[in-house]
Amino acid sequence: MNKMFRFTLGLFSIVLLLSACSKSVEKSATTGWNYNDPEWGGFQKLDYEGQIIGPNLVPIEGGTFNMGLTEQDVTFEWNNVPRRVTVSSFYMDETEVANIDYREYLHWLRKTYVSYPGVWREALPDTLVWREELAFNEPLVETYFRHPSYDSYPVVGVNWEQATKYASWRSDRVNEMILIERGILNPSPDQKDSETFNTKSYLAGQYQGNVKKNLKDNVSGGERPVTFEDGILLPDYILPTEAQWEYAALALKGNQPTSQDEVITDRRIYPWNGNTSRYKKHTRTQGDIQANFKRGRGDYMGMAGALNDNASVPGPVRSFMPNDFGLYNMAGNVSEWVQDVYRPMTSTTLSDPENHDLNSFRGNVFQELILDEEGKPIAKDSLGKLKYQMVEDSMVSQRENYRKGNVKNFRDGDAEYIKYGYGVTTLINDSSRVIKGGSWGDRLFWLSPGARRYKDQRKADRSLGFRCAMVRVGAEGFDGDLGGNNFKEAGASKIKRRYK
């Protein structure tokens, strides 16, 4: 009888303990009010597990490195003087954007913006970039972008403005898919014109969509749409900055013996070790070319029976071995657009370089939402997007951290700096964007991550493509985050479990 009593008492104690635990709530450390409790206002605090990894992205842990030329400056341009900078952690596309990826984008534009066919036409790549007066490249004009044989090859003939719009479109499609996977929205493949999903319009309450089941509202006890504070939706896909691109291409993490040592054992000229374009000795790939580039005059791919890079023009986006961050073709194949406005003068020439050694970037145009009298965003435009305007100089003239809305030409024309005479003494202006990485048509020098050139953002080339990046929010380290390159399995499905 005693044993039965003790067992019953113990079981009852466990039940009470479990019941107490299930009813425990987290309280504010500063007010003592309950979090996530409708009776106490319903303020929500999430058990946030970290940023998921979007499709095709790989994590790039940030750090300090010497940004600038790693090769002898054979052009004597002195346009990338080495200097120490720090890059915050971010994400980068594993590969260049491929033809099939860009055709998916065009397909969506054509079937969605039925009232605005000009949107689709403006996005078309310039396939005529393959034409040349003294070369028979006409077959590539017809086949390279459209034929399935080239599906996995990098898209070319896309200018900087088109690439930027592609990244914006991709952001919306990925976030829409997150909401579908989460069970918030049903798929809406027939959405048209202004009634298309746009992340910022959705967060501003100007897009409803085909709702399946919204989140629980801790205030009213009913349902509510996803908000920015829920941490479900990803930041925008963007073109990487020059600093991000160069840091990711060098991948010096591969020459750090352990994660505890702040030591890089070897510098790199290219995204791999060594001072040549060939794989190191004593490996299965000994002597093989490590990138797709022009080896010499008239030599784009080697000899029959021994093709050194197996591509006379761009090759598949997953050609060759990835670098130590897991990124393919950060040297060769196609050069790549980055965000930065080009200037030959680097930040080391400024009187206060300390202000530019963290996430160095030139090209900021600060914008703000256009608001109505109630302080809410005005109605979205005919393409379903919110309306922005550049910050007026008069509104920020008294600020200490910035004084203008458009700072692309920061300090140009000042007494101690060069004034650029576009079309007279130079081709450099505020539309000149940096390109990086070297291409299938370049010599080895341009494959060094520190090498840089520029092109007008409205022009395209047969040797120029792009890849996307995404900022990292929160902690710089990736340990313990939701992860994996399979977005559906390792990303959105974990969000489901977290928010159910």
Burial string for 473-488 (b: 16+ CB within 10 Å, else e) reads eeeeebeebbbebebe
Nearest to 193 by CA among 82, 105, 112, 100: 112
Residue 422 placed within a domain: yes
Nearest to 240 by CA among 31, 57, 440, 476: 57
Residue 250 placed within a domain: yes
Give yes or no for a contact between 346 and 68, defined as CB atoms under 8 angstroms apart: yes
Nearest to 313 by CA among 126, 149, 102, 462: 462
User: What's this model's pTM, rounded to 2 decimal places?
Assistant: 0.88
Give pLDDT, residue 482: 58
For the purposes of burial, counting CB atoms within 10 Å of the CB of 299, is it exposed (0-12), middle (13-18) or buried (19 or more)? Answer: exposed
Give pLDDT, residue 347: 54
Give pLDDT, residue 112: 97
Give pLDDT, residue 40: 86
Q: For every residue of the chain, which 3-state class applies, written as one string?
A: CHHHHHHHHHHHHHHHHHHHHHHCCCECCCCCCECCCHHHCCCCCCCCCCCCCCCCEEEECCEEEEECCCCCCCCCCCCCCCEEEEECCEEEECCCCEHHHHHHHHHHHHHHCCCCHHHHHHHCCCHHHHCCCCCCCHHHHHHCCCCHHHCCCECCCCCHHHHHHHHHHHHHHHHHHHHHHHCCECCCCCCCHHHCCCHHHHHCCCCCCCECCCEECCCCCCEECCCHHHCCCCCCCECCCHHHHHHHHHCHHHHCCCCCCCCCCCCCCCCCCCCCCECCCCCCCCCCECCCCCCECCECCEECCEECCCCCCCCCCCCCCCCCCCCCCCCCCCEEEEEEECCCCCHHHCCCHHHHCECCCCCCECEEECECCCCCECCCCCCCCCCEEECCHHHHCCCCCCCCCECCCCCCCCCCCCCCCECCCECCCCCEEEEECCCCCCCHHHHCCCCCEEEECCCCCCCEECCCEEECCCCCCCCCCCCCCCHHHHHHHHHHHHHC
Cα–Cα–Cα angle for 124, 111, 116, rounded to 5 degrees: 70
Residue 197 placed within a domain: no
Structural domain range at position 322: 57-184+226-363+408-499
Alpha carbon distance 312, 306 (integer Å): 13
- Cα dist. 435→30, 172, 289, 343 in Å? 50, 26, 23, 12
Instruction: Write the CATH number for 245.
Output: 3.90.1580.10
Q: Which residues lie below 8 Å from residue 394, measured CB to CB, with a gap of 6+? A: none
Residue 450 placed within a domain: yes
Alpha carbon distance 32, 472 (integer Å): 32
Give the residues across from 85 on adjacent strands.
65
Show the low-confidence residues of the chain (pLDDT under 50).
1, 5, 7, 9, 15-22, 348-354, 414-417, 484-500
Residue 218 placed within a domain: no
Residue 5 placed within a domain: no
Token pair for residue 492? 């959105």
Give the residues across from 469 on adjacent strands.
92, 238
Cα–Cα–Cα angle for 246, 294, 326, rounded to 5 degrees: 35
Give pLDDT, residue 486: 45
- Strand pairing category for 464-465 and 335-341: parallel
- Strand pairing category for 335-341 and 469-471: unpaired
- Cα dist. 404→369, 392, 400 in Å? 17, 7, 11
Residue 121 placed within a domain: yes
Give pLDDT, residue 182: 93
Work out how many domains the chain is built from and give that number: 1
Residue 148 placed within a domain: yes
